[in-house]
Structure 1
Amino acid sequence: MKKIKLDIVGLSYSQTQSGAYALVLGEINGRRRLPIIIGAFEAQAIAIEIEKMTPSRPLTHDLFKSLAGSYNINIQEIIIYNLVDGIFFAKLICSDGKKTSEIDARTSDAIALAVRFDCPIYTYEFILATAGIVIEGNEFVFLENIEAPAEEKAVSATINFSSLTEDELKEKLKDALADEAYEKAAKIRDELSRRKSS
Structure 2
Amino acid sequence: MEKLIELEILGLSSNHSQSGSFTLVLGEVGGARRLPIVIGMFEAQAIALEIEKIIPNRPMTHDLFRSFATGFNFDIERIVITDMKEGVYYARIQCKSSDTEVNVDSRPSDAIAIAIRFGCPVYCTEKAMSEGAVEHYEVENKEEKREPKPSTQKFTTKKEPSLKDYSLDKLNQMLDKAILNEDYERAARIRDEINKRN
Q: What is the TM-score of this pair, normalised by structure 1?
A: 0.70
Q: Is the Cα contact below 8 Å between 1:12 and 1:143 reproduced in 2?
A: no
Q: Is the Cα contact below 8 Å between 2:36 and 2:184 reproduced in 1?
A: no
Which has a greater percent of helix? 1
Q: Which residue of 2 aligns with 1:35?
A: 36
Q: Distance in 2 between matches of 1:90 and 1:144?
A: 20
Residue 142 of structure 2 corresponds to residue 141 of structure 1 = no
Corresponding letter in the other structure for 2:134: I
Q: Is the Cα contact below 8 Å between 1:34 and 1:133 reproduced in 2?
A: yes
Q: Which residue of 2 aligns with 1:149?
A: none
Give the superposition deviation at 1:141.
1.5
Give the superposition deviation at 1:143.
6.0
Q: Which residue of 2 aligns with 1:172?
A: none
Corresponding letter in the other structure for 1:39: G
Q: Is the Cα contact below 8 Å between 1:10 and 1:143 reproduced in 2?
A: no
Give the superposition deviation at 1:84.
1.0
SS at match of 1:119: coil
Which shifted more, 12-21 or 55-64? 12-21
Give the superposition deviation at 1:131.
1.0
Q: Is the Cα contact below 8 Å between 2:80 and 2:123 reproduced in 1?
A: yes
Runs of 4+, deviation exceeding 6 Å: none
CA RMSD of aligned residues (A): 1.7
Corresponding letter in the other structure for 2:20: G
Residue 152 of structure 2 corresponds to residue 111 of structure 1 = no
Give the superposition deviation at 1:142.
2.6
- Compared with structure 1, are the counterparts of its residues 85 and 102 closer, same or farther at alpha carbon in structure 2 (3 Å cutoff)? same
- Alignment length (residue pairs): 145
Q: Which residue of 1 aligns with 2:25?
A: 24
Q: Distance in 2 between matches of 1:142 and 1:31?
A: 15
Q: Distance in 1 between matches of 2:134 and 2:82?
A: 18
- Compared with structure 1, are the counterparts of its residues 134 and 143 closer, same or farther at alpha carbon in structure 2 (3 Å cutoff)? closer
Give the superposition deviation at 1:16.
2.5
Q: Distance in 2 between matches of 1:143 and 1:127?
A: 17
Give the superposition deviation at 1:129.
1.4
Q: Distance in 2 between matches of 1:134 and 1:127?
A: 14
Give the % identical residues.
46
List runs of 5+ in structure 2 lacking aligned partners: 140-179, 187-198
SS at match of 2:84: strand
Q: Is the Cα contact below 8 Å between 2:81 and 2:125 reproduced in 1?
A: yes
Corresponding letter in the other structure for 2:68: L
List runs of 5+ in structure 1 lacking aligned partners: 146-198
Q: What is the TM-score of this pair, normalised by structure 2?
A: 0.70
Give the superposition deviation at 1:106.
1.0
SS at match of 2:183: helix
